[in-house]
Amino acid sequence: MNKPNYTTLNLGPTHPATHGIFQNVLTLDGEKIIDTEQTIGYIHRAFEKIAERRPYYQITPLTDRLNYCSSPINNIGWHLTVEKLLGIKSTKRVDYMRIIVMELARITDHLICNSVIGVDSGAMTGFIYVFQEREKVYEIYEELCGARLTTNLGRIGGFERDFSISVLSKIREFLDHLPKVLKEFEKLLLRNRIFMDRTINVGSISAERALNYGFTGPNLRSAGVDYDVRVTSPYCSYDDFDLMIPVGTNGDTYDRFAVRQDEIWQSLKLIRNVIDNLPEGKYSMDVPEFYLPPKQDVYNNMEALIWHFKIIMGEVNIPAGEVYHSVEGGNGELGFYLVSDGGRTPYRLHFRRPCFIYYQALPEMIRGGVLSDAILTMSSMNVIAGELDA
Amino acid sequence: MENKPIIDILQARFSKETIVVDESSDILTLTVDRNILHDTIKCLKEDPGLQFNFLTTLCGIHYPDAPLPLGVVYHLHNLYEKKRIRLKTFLPDTDPSVRSLTDLFSAANWMERETYDFYGIIFSGHPNLKRILNVDYMDYFPMRKEYPLEDSARPDKDDRFFGR
């Protein structure tokens, strides 16, 4: 018997279709994929090691660089973890402000992923449409914290400043305008014959396999499992609001696209709901040991000056203990396992990165398919290199 | 779902000394002897009264001064009852090996490779145990505590100034 004549193809590390730096070594029989092996770690920055030397507030910028398409979720997830360890009870206003920011981040994350699925299947137009809307969210971030992509937004114990009138009006403007663009975007793709032919039954995974592979987020929900951290283990007062979890049936590329699209609509509804019920109050909790005092107090008030100095120099010790906290990130369950020995830095900090865990299922999902379908499967899984490598 | 039935089922299956229960932290934590770790997780996953069918995460930890310095921490999740559980197992420096979970959870594959990469913990029975994030020719395990993050010879990087 002749040995089959397979071709080896290197997809990546810097291939435009992978949308990030990671390599796939594909074994091909003609255009059919026999197997693939992934190489990752090209942007490994040793965040878990670095975190062992940093005071808690300096770890927030590290989390920015995990899933950089939705940095605020990572930032707030980290703050919630530390607050859980410290036993800080958050106020409703802070919770609701956090929900608004996190849902805006989820919308941008899904907009990027879904529009890129369009690009990879040959439809550039939708991408341009929704990127204009993403820009508006980035303007909101800019107004809130001064940064756009790697936001370092919020503090342990609340927000650095309140939502200004201009922020609130920008959010409302965004909520009014996005539905129009989103409908247009859906008209372009959702029932488009070419798009449907390219995505339905492409890269599908069963619910059972998805769970076994540790899938979370839209990828798991598209396979029909209604697991959403916001609902199963509510944090940040998410349980005050009605939340519908969109689920798919086949776990294929089309379902992943549709689930994300539905989640954008749900997030819009949720933000509208939250902003209408935003209670009055302070935008931070009363935790002087961890929350920086206002600058004018630092200049005029001895106690505030002391706290300012202690926090900035990292002289505040955190009680010993261990805690696991997770939030629903753009891609799934983003978890923080934090072990403190009572010092100023974590003893051990482990990030549960959803991308890292579900990306290992790719060989199983693309095996037997063709190369062009593999590209679509990969982009619909929304693999973000920053989160993959930490 | 309460902690008690979980502990009861496990202690009926395994001898009491091999499982140490700690209910003081946020999640029920069990410290398990490494020889029964795989069986415990199999029981947690497959027992109809437990159904911890989701491996949330798995990571290493290093306590250089402890008699068993290296550890692996597992987080499992029962999605039906919305219950989480944490398992720990500690390993000696000289033979840091524990049975792989890849036969129970496909998700464990890369998580175990990452733990091997960072801490040098050997997962016996793993199909492809090699480094994943660091380069293949690296000859140490960087997350162990004996490797300081910064150059300890520099006076401005003295550990005492950083609280350690």
ipTM: 0.92
- Give yes or no for B43 touching A (CB within 8 A): no
- Answer yes or no: do A335 and B26 touch at CB < 8 A: no
* Range(s) of the domain holding residue A304: 55-389
pLDDT band at A264 (very low <50, low <70, confident <90, very high): very high
Nearest CA in chain A to B59: A350
- Answer yes or no: do B149 and A326 touch at CB < 8 A: no
Between CA A236 and CA A171 the distance in angstroms is 20
- Answer yes or no: do A213 and B106 touch at CB < 8 A: yes
Average pLDDT, chain A: 92
Q: Which residues pair with B2 in a beta bridge?
A: none
Residue B66 in this model has a pLDDT that exceeds 70: yes
Walk me through the domains of chain B, giving residue ranges and CATH numbers. 3-162 (3.30.460.80)
* Higher-confidence position of A107 and A12: A107
pLDDT band at B159 (very low <50, low <70, confident <90, very high): low
The total number of structural domains that make up chain A: 1
In a domain, A108, yes or no: yes
Q: Which among A41, A50, A314 is the nearest to B132, CB-wise? A: A41
**Is A348 in contact with B61 (CB distance < 8 Å)?**
yes
pLDDT at A105: 95
Residue A87 in this model has a pLDDT that exceeds 60: yes
Give the 3-state secondary structure percentages of chain B, helix then strand then coil, rounded to 5: 30, 25, 45
Nearest CA in chain A to B101: A212
**Is A295 in contact with A254 (CB distance < 8 Å)?**
no
pLDDT at A15: 77
Query: A-B interface: how many C-beta pairs under 8 angstroms?
Result: 98
A183-215 pLDDT per residue, tens: 999 999 999 999 999 999 999 999 999 999 999
- Answer yes or no: do A357 and B150 touch at CB < 8 A: no
pLDDT at A183: 94
pLDDT at A238: 93
| Residue B46 CB contacts under 8 Å (≥ 6 apart), including other chains | none
CB atoms inside a 10 Å sphere around CB A192: 17
Residue B15 in this model has a pLDDT that exceeds 90: no
A32-39/A321-328 β-pairing: unpaired
As separate numbers, helices (DSSP H) first and strands (DSSP E) second, chain B gives: 3, 7
pLDDT at A1: 52
pLDDT at A186: 93
Average pLDDT, chain B: 89
pLDDT band at A255 (very low <50, low <70, confident <90, very high): very high
CATH number for A298: 1.10.645.10
**Percentage of chain B exceeding pLDDT 70:** 91
Locus of tokens 């014959």:
A193
**Percentage of chain A exceeding pLDDT 90:** 78
- Report chain B residues whose CB lies below 8 A from the CB of A322: 25-26, 29
**Percentage of chain B exceeding pLDDT 90:** 68
Residue A12 in this model has a pLDDT that exceeds 90: no
pLDDT band at A280 (very low <50, low <70, confident <90, very high): very high
In a domain, A212, yes or no: yes
Residue B163 in this model has a pLDDT that exceeds 80: no
**Is A141 in contact with A154 (CB distance < 8 Å)?**
no
Q: What are phi and psi of A26, to 5 degrees?
A: -95, 140
Between CA A111 and CA A355 the distance in angstroms is 17
A146-170 pLDDT per residue, tens: 999 999 999 999 999 999 999 999 9
A25-58 pLDDT per residue, tens: 999 998 899 999 999 999 999 999 999 988 899 9
**Is B99 in contact with B83 (CB distance < 8 Å)?**
no
Say what the alpha-carbon torsion angle B147, B151, B154, B157 is, to the nearest 10 degrees.
-70
In a domain, A68, yes or no: yes
Residue B73 in this model has a pLDDT that exceeds 90: yes
Secondary structure E strands in chain A: 7-11, 23-29, 32-39, 321-328, 333-340, 348-352
In a domain, A11, yes or no: no
Q: Is A362 left (phi over 0), alpha (psi -120 to 50) or beta?
A: alpha
Q: Which among B62, B73, B110 is the nearest to A337, CB-wise? A: B73
- Answer yes or no: do A212 and B82 touch at CB < 8 A: no
In a domain, A289, yes or no: yes
DSSP string covering B116-134, please? HHHH--EEET-TT---SSS
**Is A10 in contact with A16 (CB distance < 8 Å)?**
no
In a domain, A298, yes or no: yes
Q: Residues B149-156: what's their mean pLDDT?
A: 66
Is the preceding peptide bond at B69 cis, omega within 30 degrees of 0? no
pLDDT at A300: 93
Between CA A98 and CA A92 the distance in angstroms is 10
- Give yes or no for B1 touching A (CB within 8 A): no
pLDDT at B154: 66
Q: What sign does the dihedral B148-B152-B154-B156 (CA atoms) show?
A: positive
- Report chain B residues whose CB lies below 8 A from the CB of A360: 106-107, 109-110
In a domain, A32, yes or no: no
Between CA A202 and CA A191 the distance in angstroms is 16
pLDDT band at B161 (very low <50, low <70, confident <90, very high): low
- Answer yes or no: do A48 and B118 touch at CB < 8 A: yes
Q: Residues B3-30: what's their mean pLDDT?
A: 88
* Higher-confidence position of A326 and B160: A326
In a domain, A87, yes or no: yes
Residue B156 in this model has a pLDDT that exceeds 70: no
| Residue A379 CB contacts under 8 Å (≥ 6 apart), including other chains | A17, A19, A113, A116, A117, A120
Residue B116 in this model has a pLDDT that exceeds 90: yes
- Answer yes or no: do B61 and A339 touch at CB < 8 A: yes
CA nearest neighbour of A242 among A283, A281, A279, A272: A272
pLDDT at A18: 73
Q: Which two tokens stand for residue B160?
A: 């005492």
**Is A234 in contact with A292 (CB distance < 8 Å)?**
no
Choose the weakest-confidence range: A9-18, A251-260, A299-308, B107-116.
A9-18
User: pTM for the complete prediction?
Assistant: 0.94
pLDDT band at B54 (very low <50, low <70, confident <90, very high): very high
Nearest CA in chain B to A227: B79
pLDDT at A2: 60
Residue B164 in this model has a pLDDT that exceeds 60: no
**Is B152 in contact with B160 (CB distance < 8 Å)?**
no
- Give yes or no for B112 touching A (CB within 8 A): no
pLDDT band at A21 (very low <50, low <70, confident <90, very high): confident
- Give yes or no for B31 touching A (CB within 8 A): no
- Answer yes or no: do B111 and A345 touch at CB < 8 A: no
